[in-house]
Structure 1
Amino acid sequence: MTMAEDDPFKDPALGTTETPQPPEPSTNVPDTLAVGRNASLTLGQDSLVVLDEALLDNNGGCCGISSLYSKNKTTRSIPFFNILWAEQSEDGEITIQYAHAVSKQVVRPAIISYTLDKTDNRTTHLWIEKLLDRAYGASKREKRVKVLINPFGGQGGAVKIYHKHIAPIFAAARCELDVEKTTHNGHAVEIAQGLDVDAYDVIACCSGDGIPHEVWNGLGKRHDAARALVKTAIAQLPCGSGNGMSLNFNGTDSPSLAALAVVKGLRTPLDLTSITQGDQRTLSFMSQSVGLVAECDLATENLRWMGSARFTWGTLTRVLRKTIYPADIAIKVEYSDKEAIRQVYRTEAGKPPRSHDDREIPAADAGLPPLQHGTINDPLPSSWELVPHDKLGNFYAGNMAYMSPDANFFPASLPNDGCIDVVRVRGDLKRHTAIATLLAVAENKFFEQPTVDYQKVTAYRFIPKNQADGYISIDGERVPFEPFQVEVHRGLGTVLSKTGHIYEAKGV
């Protein structure tokens, strides 16, 4: 699907020629633009203020714009974050498109327009540029987006969700769209492996977390893997059963709100990890789990009809049985003290939003980085100690905070600190203690639990034992039940986020 087919605001006769970059706005451009005898548009501190006496005849609302002052219904405001586009026609009409909140979970494109009494093209043009500069900041306008839709994910509604909630936001923001549906397992790997990464700014996955996993591994198979992974940002638009990536970077599992977040997203470095198992090397962007969390996800696939309740059911049955998952584990630890981990997180969280991505683009022949600690088939590094965990109940490693809307397992995680956060919980806890530990996740008190061993690490090896078979999950995908080794690559991948450096989650 081409941009001309998908964007109702673009004249098809114009083709796909890149829009010339507008001139820098003058510092002397006034914040207020008169748009009629009794109306004006003003650039406020964090919103566009619309002053129009005609709003009094519209029951206190214009196009769904929120009231700025309850006693003065001639004044309304639109947050700059919600401004999608603005332009002036040849006959002097100024049109502003924005994402209007129709509920807490849904935004839709809306328009305000005025015909200027006196056409001052230069002043108006510069004012519009100033508005768009406030609206987008360091985020790239008119993003070139490769959209991948997985029509089989979740409950199979991704195509409908895209056209109803996502495409209208992208079109109003003048994004250049190239839409493709995945047709089989591994298709996104093939697409990413052959993609012209110079033609796109973003690969937006309308899916669960499975398609981003495929995309990163497709990029990782290229001869120019390092360049492709840095150059092209990956985004997830929630259309599946697992939408952890969108929760972490977009701050929502609402498709329309996520689309708005991607339109305004800042390029953000993301740590990726290499998983070696047997003779295979796989990239992971989210998590690896063995034990309770892995079984509650993978072993309840037959209970999808229960919705999210299947995870609760799976958890309770295993906690009540006091199931254990014995293993030998070796870890290269960077931070093992919770207070030190808390300080690392707070130092990064206290920084302002990033103004730009300062990484250099790797050379065209740069592949994946070499492994610093070898593979699972190599001898254990001499500085690592293999420690028995005969009563292990849960091993969970992740470099994103949220795994689901109510599961903030890794509140101290950061996108680009060069570490993966590891959680270990014993499986022989008293039942009420084990249940209290799990309930603490939803209350954002998991980190503080004395039963939770929480560390930041740069590499580890996991060797299951005393079990013929079981479940190992990599980014929610089942892999063979055999030993594996993990190594972190700092800033190897790229995503879009609201801040450029932290997740949209409550930290420690």
Structure 2
Amino acid sequence: MSTSSRSSDAANEQDAFIGLGAGAHADDALLLDTHSLTIREDSITITASSSSISDEKITLHDILWARAYISETGGAIQITHAKRLSKRLARPTTLSIPFSESDLDKADGWVERLLSRAYEGSHQAKRLKVLVNPHGGPGTAAKIYENEIEPILVAANCSVDVELTQYAKHAVKIAQELDIEAYDAIVCISGDGIPHEVFNGLGKRPDALKALRSIAVCQLPGGSGNGMCWSFTGTDAPSLAAIALVKGKRTHFDLVSVTQGDERILSFLSQSVGIVAELDLGTENLRWMGSARFTVGFLQRVAKETVYPAKVYVKLAIEKEDIRRHASTVREPPSLDAAGHVGLPPLQYGSIKDEIPEDWLAESHPKLGNFYCGNMICMSKDLHFFPAARPNDGHMDLAIVDGNVGRLKSVNVMLGAETGKHFDLPELNYRKVLAYRFIPKDQKDGYISIDGEKIAFAPFQAEIHHGLGMSLSMRANVYEGPILS
């Protein structure tokens, strides 16, 4: 076969492939002397011509990279994929399939189509700024990165620039000074603290709006909470989360502004007061235990019946009984051009220092036991609170449980959210809101947690920013976890 004839065949194969619609059952075969390589809807099949060689089937999700090349020993298609060694561990491995040098054009075309399918909807060879917190969780983040995460990123042909954070708020400075045009994503190997710092560093930039909405901020497990990692990848297994990240699709998600005193803080995960805040902040001395610290902390506190008297004002969006009907709602965030500014968006409802708007609901909670407001589907591995949460629905999910139901039942009520049972629990006041103000009453001290970071036990106000943040998700516009239909 002549070269021009081969090129024509390859072009025809490419045209046929391009003509397939999304979700079509593609069946794209490359016949070689030694193997048949076939791209199917969700996998590739490698069939050997010799019965002495086992056939291979690899999911497209696990394909990390591929290339066709000619060396001194002849041509080969090299396919690098993540081989599952256990339920929580995958390692890159490479297959080499020989071909005749005369088939190079066909092999190049097949590899191009394979990568297009394997990375459908996602950028290939991502440029990553990786921040490793060596003190994250039980202090093993650097080792986790080196042993389980980095091999996946390198095998996926990512460009990786690694930096260890050296001190508290170091990531704020890094994000504030970062050349955002040089990277596709900032990847935090840490608990929830480093993403919190990154978002607030980006928010301090003069081009904050562009930075927050253009560079993806991601978390891979290196701490004890890992709420963002769970929400976007559905796992806290480092190598599996890394595969999800390199395949991740750019997804806008909502951020929250919290004002307290003269300070404005960006929140990407949650704000809490009461038992959840205690579990998060009151167990700092147990960080060495990893995620088990939350279980131990709960057992230590369940016998105590502490309450947090408060006055709460709410800008209501959707009542509890209507949330199911709105669970699949996705609204496009406003465009950059329409925003008309470059810094952080202005506060639509003012700050904690302003008068409370007249249309906000006023609520008195003299025995408040738990106050939790989030804009992701879960806080940690064992705390999947909001199955109705969507990355950019423009609402916060607010859950309040009064302390008169008891500590144990209070937590069980919150955990009922995993299956949607909380819709039938009268003890849980659950709503979607646009903003709120929390004012502690008759108590000098306690825990208030913003993304796991402690702030002063004083009044604060929060409001949603629709689609202000950017991350990488397994499925566009969907959190991973128990999703309500």
- TM-score, normalized by length of structure 2? 0.90
> Within the alignment, does 1:489 sit opposite 2:465 as a pair?
yes
Moved more, 224-233 or 147-156: 147-156
Aligned equivalents of 2:383, 2:433: Cα separation in 1: 21
Rate the CA distance shift 1:308–1:208 in 2: closer, same or farther, 3 A: closer
Q: How does 1:83-98 map to 2 (within 5 A)?
A: 83-90=63-70, 91-98=74-81
Aligned twin of 1:26:
14
8 Å CA contact 2:259, 2:460 repeated in 1? yes
* CA deviation vs aligned residue, 1:263-290 (integer Å, no higher than 9, x gap): 1100000100100000000000000000
Aligned equivalents of 1:170, 1:430: Cα separation in 2: 46
8 Å CA contact 1:376, 1:483 repeated in 2? yes
Aligned equivalents of 1:95, 1:359: Cα separation in 2: 41
Aligned equivalents of 2:337, 2:114: Cα separation in 1: 30
Task: Return the letter of the residue paired with 1:471.
Answer: Y
Aligned twin of 1:342:
324
Deviation (angstroms), 1:28? 4.0
8 Å CA contact 1:331, 1:385 repeated in 2? yes
Deviation (angstroms), 1:403? 0.9
Q: 2:152 aligns with which of 162, 165, 169?
A: 169
Aligned equivalents of 1:220, 1:477: Cα separation in 2: 17
8 Å CA contact 1:84, 1:98 repeated in 2? yes
Q: How does 1:32-431 map to 2 (within 5 A)?
A: 32-37=29-34, 39-54=35-50, 57=52, 74-90=54-70, 91-117=74-100, 119-304=102-287, 307-338=290-321, 340-347=322-329, 360=336, 366-429=342-405
Aligned equivalents of 2:413, 2:199: Cα separation in 1: 33
Question: Secondary structure at the residue paired with 1:109?
Answer: strand
Unpaired segments of 5 or more residues in structure 2?
1-10, 18-26
Task: Return the letter of the residue paired with 1:78.
Answer: I
Rate the CA distance shift 1:482–1:358 in 2: closer, same or farther, 3 A: closer
* CA deviation vs aligned residue, 1:186-243 (integer Å, no higher than 9, x gap): 0000000000001100001111111000000000000000000011001101011111
Task: Return the letter of the residue paired with 1:204.
Answer: V
Aligned equivalents of 1:113, 1:250: Cα separation in 2: 30
8 Å CA contact 2:375, 2:389 repeated in 1? yes
Aligned twin of 2:474:
498
8 Å CA contact 1:391, 1:428 repeated in 2? yes
Aligned equivalents of 2:335, 2:107: Cα separation in 1: 36
Aligned equivalents of 1:305, 1:122: Cα separation in 2: 54
Rate the CA distance shift 1:175–1:495 in 2: closer, same or farther, 3 A: same
Moved more, 440-449 or 456-465: 440-449
Deviation (angstroms), 1:24? 11
Aligned equivalents of 1:503, 1:159: Cα separation in 2: 27
Rate the CA distance shift 1:87–1:332 in 2: closer, same or farther, 3 A: same
Task: Return the letter of the residue paired with 1:34.
Answer: L
Aligned equivalents of 1:341, 1:270: Cα separation in 2: 19
8 Å CA contact 2:308, 2:366 repeated in 1? yes
Aligned equivalents of 1:386, 1:32: Cα separation in 2: 65
Aligned equivalents of 2:349, 2:407: Cα separation in 1: 38
Aligned-residue Cα RMSD (Å) equals: 2.4
Deviation (angstroms), 1:405? 1.1
8 Å CA contact 2:329, 2:393 repeated in 1? no
8 Å CA contact 1:322, 1:429 repeated in 2? no
Rate the CA distance shift 1:364–1:425 in 2: closer, same or farther, 3 A: closer
Deviation (angstroms), 1:316? 4.2
Aligned equivalents of 1:202, 1:406: Cα separation in 2: 27
Question: Secondary structure at the residue paired with 1:245?
Answer: helix
Aligned twin of 2:434:
458
Rate the CA distance shift 1:230–1:131 in 2: closer, same or farther, 3 A: same
Rate the CA distance shift 1:242–1:347 in 2: closer, same or farther, 3 A: same
Task: Return the letter of the residue paired with 1:481.
Answer: F
- TM-score, normalized by length of structure 1? 0.86
Deviation (angstroms), 1:111? 0.8
Deviation (angstroms), 1:162? 1.0
Moved more, 472-481 or 302-311: 302-311
Question: Secondary structure at the residue paired with 1:161?
Answer: helix
Aligned residues: 462
* CA deviation vs aligned residue, 1:343-365 (integer Å, no higher than 9, x gap): 211355xx9xx9xx995578996
Percent identity, aligned pairs only? 50
